[in-house]
Structure 1
Amino acid sequence: MGDIEVIHEEFSKISTEDLWRQLLVPTDNPITARRNRKELGIVIGLAILGGLLSKVPALFGFGDMDAHSQLYLRNASIFAFFPVAIYLIWKRSLPALRSLAVLSIFPASAMLVNAYPSYEPHHTGLLLSLHLPIVLLFVLLYFFGGPAIKREGQHLYATGWRNPNTRLNFVRFVGESFIYAILIGMGGMVLILLTAGTFDLIKIDAFPFITAWIAPLGFFGLFVVAAYLVLQKKNLIESIAPVLARIFTPLFLLVLISLIIAFLVTPNQAYENRNMLIWFDVILALVLALTLYSMSSKDFTSTNTSAKSQITFWDFLSFGLIISAVIVDAIALSGISMRLSAYGFSANRTAALGENLILLVNLLLLCVGYVRYFLQKQTFQEIVVMQMRFLSVYGIWATCVVVVFPLLFGFR
């Protein structure tokens, strides 16, 4: 084999990055390369489909997006997620008939949200637009994990989309897809501005064409492209989830502490300032999303270490974030209760009350889970199982807001 020193010298000439790529990223064989080209073609076609779906309202005389912004807002998640659903069906090779039955939720949702009227001040229409994406994410979860099949001697939660680990992987998938979508969107905006600027130099106004075709095709197509990129890179080198979780967990903890201090300094603002309550709810939703994302970044499957050795500084930081979120949620609930007693029930106030109560229950369950975990009375896996099953509560609530609230509050 030759002198070992010579071999070592030649080996050391290879750059570390190239070596890791060669070790971790397998070279495609001809069959895999053909499938990858086919997959890329399908993704491009589905991205175009997403953009074309956004032109469907124009066929019914609603082509002006500014004049009919409510209509486009209601249907935006349908345009964006329908191509992703088709891509996941193809990617997972799911059963055709069952997949078509679940996929029919998309046209059914479109018929429902467009059949509902909307009257001033359009609160139920806005709530519908905000909650429909949550409902459709559960449809995507089904296609991501596949059908849950109950086998003899096996619990129904052990397979398919019901499996807690599958749901956790889906959380990571959604989070990373969202990040990719933002990056692609920013790149697309730069490209659009450069294109418009180039045409402007030659005295051609390209903005009408860009806003009518290029922007919708790009925006509603980027979600399936983002999903494709996440699944392509999956397990190749490293997930970005741990890095992002460790960056944003301490930052959000500081934000929550600052909110608590602000409330202590000016307590009446939480009761009198409606915008402050909305801001509280937005931050709480982001904290929950970050908590889920942090869960997906933690390695809790190792059997070679004790439960105690798996507890890290980041677990205590996450626990501090959850405790702070409970305090902020309690402040928000007290403010909502005061406004309900003063002004009565409305669509917005009822939705805020329901969501804050659900969040509070969720956060308290997480607190109990973390305390038991620190005391070594349960594993982190049990916290994950609880949280992944609790996600169904959000799906049920979102469906209620989409279907029932417009009827309950007179489509106002």
Structure 2
Amino acid sequence: MPEHNQVLNFAAGPAKIPTAVLEKAQSELLNYDNTGMSVMELSHRSKTFGKILSEAKANLTSLLNIPDNYEILFMQGGGTTLFSAVVYNLLAAKGKPDAPVDYCVSGSWSQKASEEAKRLGANVNIVFNSKKSTGSYTTIPPESEWKLSGPDAAYVYYCDNETVHGVEFPSVPTVDPSVPLVTDMSSNILSRKVDVSKFAVIYAGAQKNIGPSGVTIVIVRKDLLTPLQSASEIPTGGLVVPQMLDFKTLADNDSLYNTPPTYAIYMSGLVFKHMLENGGVDKYTEVNDRKASKLYQAIDNSKIYKAPVATGFRSNMNVPFRIYPEPLEAEFLKGAEARNMVQLKGHRSVGGIRASIYNAMGEDGVDALVAYMKEFEAQHQG
């Protein structure tokens, strides 16, 4: 079997982690900081782990320039659990359980988020659903066509980058400044510069563009942290926030209300430090733009490859494409694996090919994929 750094891992998540980070974790696996224990064995309430946690928060703050009026939380349950947590916490902060909640549906993950909000009984307003308006999740309609609820809304929700369909918002949506803006950045956090102050809540499952699965990063504005209430204390029809989904409970306890995913937090902290040592988000933005440009150019200049997403909304992180005739896709994937290019198969719901080129995927990896694509096309032309 090839060594780890000989495999080009294009998985959408759990995804590639920088080799230098894995080597650092390997060197500390059995004995972290001369404790005689692995990080996995440390008490989450020990001074040693407290230092790991505080350094991870400080480094993430530096990477994203997070203002002082925000809390960083480390939660469990992945981005999917945040579908529910957002509903509970933002409606509690609004204080009106029947307030509309606005959802921009640009792909399967925002669709799932809106469905969960409906299931919980929230008053869901669909701002737009690109599949219903165009027949597919391949674009984002102009803001002039959006149907926002205005200042009455408890929040506006969108998924900044749809991992399955490869649709990415080119900029932050314009909403009423009095309405909290919530975004799922699971698959593009830290890949480009972002003004955190424009958001009420940013969350991201770590397993795509940060580190291992098991932890979800939540960046929440402090004024939205609402005291926990019981059923007898809230208006009729209001949602009782489960304690383990309550942002204020987690903030008050520095994400240590119960045992957090300690090793995943440690690994995420190593990635944050690695990024700072390698130019920070500015440098990664530059490289990511270049990687995506090379790959999309190879697709657009081809006679057999086609990118379904409209120009202007194409993801820099998840690049889906089809091969025509479609039976060639299986052959392409087989040839890729023979060249140690793995996990290129598209999501089961859409098929095709998908190359996830997160921060940890070097430019040389994208160059190798492009070279193979050109070789494959040359073999199958006319």
Q: Which interval holds the TM-score relative to the shorter structure?
A: under 0.3
TM score, norm. by length of structure 2:
0.24
Larger Rg: 1
